[in-house]
Chains A and B, each alone.
Chain A
Amino acid sequence: MNSAAGTTFWFYGSAAVMLFIAGFFCVLATRNLIRTLIGIELLMKAVTLLLAASGYISAHTVLVQALVITMIVIEVVAIAVAAGIVIGVHRQHGTLDTRKLRNLKG
C-alpha cells in the first residue's frame, strides 16, 4: 500500500470514526427527540466524509460527488419529515421526552 495514500486515508478515516462515535453517543445518551435527530445528522456527516476521502484517494471524485448529492437530498427530506413528526408529537403529548411517550406500550 502506498504510504502517502495510507496516511491520508488514516487521518480521514479516524475523523470519520470519531464523528460516528459522537453521533452514536448523541443518539443513545439522550431522551430528547431533537437531539436524537442531531445525532443522526452527525452519523450522516461521518459517512459523507468517508465517501469524499475514498473518492479522492481512488480518483473517483465524480462518482462520489453524485452519491453524496443523492445522500444529501435524501437526508434533507428525512430530517424535514422527522422534524414534522417531532412537532406533531409535541403538540399531541406536550413533551419531547422519549420516556414519556408510552401510548403504544403493550
Chain B
Amino acid sequence: MPEVNVILLLLLVLAALWTVMTRSLLRSAIGLAITSAVLSVLMFQLQSPLAAVFELSVCTGLISVVFISTISLTQPLTGEQIMRHMKTRLKRFWFLPVILLLAGLLLKSIKAPVAFAPLPVEMEKDVRSVLWSIRHLDIVGQVFILLAGSFGVRILFREKEQK
C-alpha cells in the first residue's frame, strides 16, 4: 500500500478526532469539512473518482454550508457553559477511547477466513449504466427522498406568519 494512503488515513482520523474534541461548534463544522475533503482524496486513491467528486462537492461544500447556517441561526452556549460541559464529558465517557484501543487490538488479532486477491479495476462498465440499469430502483427512492426533503426544508425553514 502506498505511503501516501497511510498518511491520508492518519490525517482523516486526526481530522475526525479534532472535529469531535474541539470546543467551538463552528470549528467542529470546519473539521467535518476537512474530514470530508481528506475522504474525497482517499476515494480518488481507491479508484472511485465519481463518488469522490460527489463527496467533495456535496459533503465538503453543501453540508458544511448547511451546518454553518444552522449554527449562525441558533444561539451557541457561552464559553463558561462549554468549559463546564467539556470537563464533565471527558469524565463521564473516559471508557470510549479504551473501547477504541480494544477494537484496534481485536481487529489485529482476527484472521479473516476469506481468501481473495486484489484484481485490476474493471474498466468496461460505467457508473451511469450501473445507476440507471442495475440500481434503477435506488434512483426512484432518491427522487422520493429528495421530494420529501425539499418539502421538509420548505416547511421547517418557513418564517412564522405575522399576526
Q: Which of A23, A56, A80, A94 contacts B48 (CB 8 A)?
A: A56
Contact B89 A21 (CB under 8 A): no
Contact B108 A10 (CB under 8 A): yes
CB contacts (< 8 Å) of A41 on chain B: these are 32, 59, 63
Contact A49 B66 (CB under 8 A): no
- Least Cβ distance of A27 to chain B in Å? 10
Contact A72 B48 (CB under 8 A): no
Question: Which interface residue of B92, B107, B127, B135 has the most chain A CB atoms within 10 A?
Answer: B127
Question: Which interface residue of B1, B35, B43 has the most chain A CB atoms within 10 A?
Answer: B43
- Least Cβ distance of A51 to chain B in Å? 9
- Chain B interface bracket (under 10, 10 to 19, 20 to 34, 35 or more): 35 or more
Cβ of A101 < 8 Å from any Cβ of B? no
A68 to B125, CA, bound (A): 16
CB contacts (< 8 Å) of A39 on chain B: these are 20
Contact A2 B74 (CB under 8 A): no
Contact B54 A72 (CB under 8 A): yes
CB contacts (< 8 Å) of A17 on chain B: these are 100, 103-104, 107
* Cβ-closest chain B residue relative to A39: B20
CB contacts (< 8 Å) of B156 on chain A: these are 81, 84-85, 87-88
Q: A11-B6, A52-B43 are in contact. Are A38 and B58 (CB under 8 A)?
A: no
- Least Cβ distance of B42 to chain A in Å? 7
- List 7 A-B pairs, minimum CB-CB distance, nearest first: A84-B156, A77-B149, A59-B119, A68-B51, A2-B117, A81-B152, A56-B46
Q: State the A residues within 8 Å of B (CB).
A: 1-2, 4-15, 17-19, 21-26, 28-32, 34-35, 37-39, 41-42, 45, 48-49, 52-53, 55-70, 72-81, 83-88, 90-91, 94, 96
Q: Sample 27 A-B pairs with CB under 8 A, ordered by A number.
A: A11-B1, A14-B107, A17-B104, A19-B16, A23-B16, A31-B85, A32-B77, A38-B19, A55-B48, A59-B118, A59-B121, A62-B125, A66-B131, A66-B134, A68-B43, A68-B48, A68-B54, A73-B142, A74-B142, A77-B145, A80-B66, A80-B149, A80-B153, A83-B69, A84-B156, A87-B74, A96-B74
